[in-house]
Structure 1
Amino acid sequence: MILSVALVLSTVALAGCDSAKKKRPTYDGVPFKIKTKPVDKKVSRANFIVQVLDANQSLDGARLAAAHAGVSYCLSEAGYGTSDITWDVNPRDPEAQLRLVDGTAVFQGTCAS
């Protein structure tokens, strides 16, 4: 009986992990892990950094993920209410040289006020 309960609980826990991964949006078919944070929140939340982990899986997808994360950050987290961003390297420009650090694409932007 205890073994059956443990088996059911572990199956449910694993299913929960799988469904959370499936809910992550994909960019060029890749569900990137993305980190967005202010450069220095004590100074201004307008200046931010986006990190797209394992960007080598799809550089085009990493660009799309960064652009989306930047817009989400400016609209929601920073509270600027606009999707206008000045980028150091524009992720929407396919000709712009990406900055990769150990496989992570790094972008820096400033929310327009």
Structure 2
Amino acid sequence: MLGAVALSACEKAKSKRPVYDGVPFSVKTKAVDKKVSRANFVVEVKDAGLSLDGARLAAEHAGVTYCLSEAGYGTSNIQWDVEPRNPDAQLRLVDGTAVFHGTCDP
């Protein structure tokens, strides 16, 4: 009984995540150093190998959300180290996690 409840809770948690290219990626966005500037941030997209295109979309969405609301810059302009929308850009993968660095550009 507890196992069924736990599984249904996991399914509900997964269903709340946005889906990119059919994959509900786990995405983490944070400032590089809040004390210096909230403009510089990093986005980590776990299990990027499930869909590199989806991982790129997830990273871009997370970066825009971060700059617009979390960092408080009110802009979607971002200077990326690896442009998520460029399919030819080489992704940086660390243990299967795609890592993107960006700067909110007001």
Flag whether TM exceeds 0.5 (same fold): yes
Shorter-normalised TM range? over 0.9
- Aligned-residue identity in percent: 75
Q: Residue type of the partner of 1:27?
A: Y
2: CA distance, partners of 1:48 / 1:14: 33
1:45-98 deviation digits (Å, cap 9, x = unpaired)? 000000000100000000000000000000110000000000010001111110
Q: List runs of 5+ in structure 1 lacking aligned partners.
A: 1-6
Normalized per residue, which structure has more helix? Answer: 1
2: CA distance, partners of 1:13 / 1:57: 24
1:81 corresponds to: 74
- Residue 62 (str. 1) matches residue 63 (str. 2): no
CA drift of 1:15 comes to 2.4
Q: List runs of 5+ in structure 2 lacking aligned partners.
A: none
CA drift of 1:23 comes to 1.2
Matches within 5 A, 1:1-80: 7=1, 11-80=4-73
CA drift of 1:19 comes to 1.2
TM (normalized to structure 1)? 0.88
- Work out which of the two has the higher radius of gyration on C-alpha atoms and give 1 or 2: 1
Backbone CA RMSD of aligned residues: 1.3
TM (normalized to structure 2)? 0.93
2: CA distance, partners of 1:51 / 1:81: 22
